[in-house]
Structure 1
């Protein structure tokens, strides 16, 4: 490698010897080569200027510290070589990955294509989601009831009034109050108020149905409710300005479920749990479908994928239809106080799933609350 240094201190060098002409030995012509490998052209156009450059400059060897091929104009980054084992098989060099846009430059993850989940598709209309759930549950329950022949005996006029009341309280009013309560108040407040439902149920069953309620049963209900309070009060205060209207709606959902439980128990003497649940779900789904029709018409049904339909089936068939049937099946065989206390297991299961999946760290208050709920349920069953 060669170059020239002028008396004034200015130096030129051939940064890429492969671009230089090996036949040129004149220092003046060598100095005339551009320092950029992409512009390796002679800038000396006359012999006079070449002689002047020869008088001003003296050829001296220069040491190049920059790697070959890195000119100021050559901004292309070299391609990354393939691994040795891959090159032995004839693999070609790989292009170096570049950052994609300002989001990667700021350290953020590259945005991924959005997935169509049920919550995002219908999150702007919870009433439409509740209506769709009840509609699908009523349809499935009706098909199962028709296939199994559980339609007989038919309900009387007085029983029809009870069934309509069950549909309105257990489905329409319960769903609307629960949705409104969660949206207007904090989730902790809503969970605590809805958690009063088993206590209301046991007291109303003692007054309306004459079911026995021992001190052990009351103690078990109180202990389980205290455990639920420990589990959910860790979130109290996260949301400022909790609305009183949300608390009132949550209380309305608890009272509506209490009425659904107490009014439905006498019907189980003459009718099967499947028949009572089917008629009550169908009568409750009609008002919800009327209220949620605008939201349902706005849904892009063609964009719902298989995962969305599977989630919708779980929410409608397992979480609603099967849950309601099993609840009435248990009411037909045990007192209301013993059955309703099992509702306190819902937050316990939710916390356990959060811990197992890594969404929440196990703490002492969580363990104390879960043990209190389990102890209260066991105490209520022995009473």
Structure 2
């Protein structure tokens, strides 16, 4: 039951993260990506800190885990910055789908190399099937990609790699402390990093002209795209393996296409329907089977 609950939390995190893309696009043209990330992490931390202080069932990361937690917080902030920058070189939906389709494979590779999670035939097949589903959903947009789209794609791949290291590295810390306290600490470090960079470069200047709509978009991004998304991701990592968590993001671009067909009267193409079925099949394949997973020695020692 814990495995399925973890996968469900990861899928909800991915769905909310996809919805936050709209808020990001709304303000991305008037504020620097680093400043936007600072707001996202800062608001998320301010929301999570009181809940973490009041929660009695979790402990804060031990001093020996502080360097790792700080490093993972910086890693998540780098991921946020890279994922916000490609808007100038590729279309945002395409950029997001590149990262989301690559994340499961990168996470499985990182987890296997670091011996945190073993390679298994079932998970490998599930990841490949889900990625094939994302590829099918992308078929209709390949001919309309901008000439320099590869630059944005590389940035999104870098963001996916950072997220893969974050997912693999944070799991033992989450299991030793708790998803709420770990996420609050990691977001605090990420907020400090991004705020320092943005403040030094004068990147907060545009906010003086923000109206109610812009501030509501930033608040939505901080609450749903920051605090809730990262907490659900950490909650999922505490209950299932990094690969099973990461594969859940493949539902994001397909779901976005279905929402577009429903709300915006966009054509519902055959590749989107087949892609959705392939993604769901891949998630089922990877998330079922043997419930016991081998973990790395570092995680066993800390349990």
TM-score normalized by the length of structure 2: 0.79
Does residue 222 (structure 1) correspond to residue 132 (structure 2)? The answer is: no
- How do 1:185-200 and structure 2 match up within 5 A? 185-187=90-92, 188=94, 191-200=97-106
CA contact (8 A) 2:100 2:160 kept: yes
Unmatched 5+ stretches in structure 2: 1-22, 290-303
Other-structure match for 2:9 = none
Match of 1:281 among 187, 193, 200: 187
Match of 1:133 among 40, 48, 51: 40
Measure the CA separation in 2 of the matches of 1:210 and 1:129: 33
Does residue 324 (structure 1) correspond to residue 250 (structure 2)? The answer is: no
Measure the CA separation in 2 of the matches of 1:243 and 1:363: 23
Give the number of the structure whose residues are more often helix, by fraction: 2
Match of 2:89 among 159, 184, 191: 184
C-alpha distance after superposition, 1:274-330 (max 9, x if no partner)? 1111111110111211233323233136x522x544433221112221111111111
C-alpha distance after superposition, 1:68-101 (max 9, x if no partner)? xxxxxxxxxxxxxxxxxxxxxxxxxxxxxxxxxx
- How do 1:93-104 and structure 2 match up within 5 A? none
Deviation at 1:145, TM superposition (A): 1.2
CA contact (8 A) 1:121 1:299 kept: no
Q: Larger relative CO (CA 8 A, sep 6+): 1 or 2?
A: 2
Other-structure match for 1:60 = none
CA contact (8 A) 2:105 2:127 kept: yes
CA 1:367/1:329 → structure 2, altered by over 3 Å: closer, same or farther? same
TM-score normalized by the length of structure 1: 0.63
Deviation at 1:347, TM superposition (A): 1.0
How many pairs are equivalent?
Answer: 263
- How do 1:1-383 and structure 2 match up within 5 A? 123-125=29-31, 126-149=33-56, 152-157=59-64, 159-170=65-76, 172-187=77-92, 188=94, 191-293=97-199, 294-300=202-208, 304-305=211-212, 307-383=213-289
CA contact (8 A) 1:150 1:275 kept: no
Measure the CA separation in 2 of the matches of 1:197 and 1:275: 25
Unmatched 5+ stretches in structure 1: 1-116
CA 1:215/1:192 → structure 2, altered by over 3 Å: closer, same or farther? same
Deviation at 1:241, TM superposition (A): 1.8
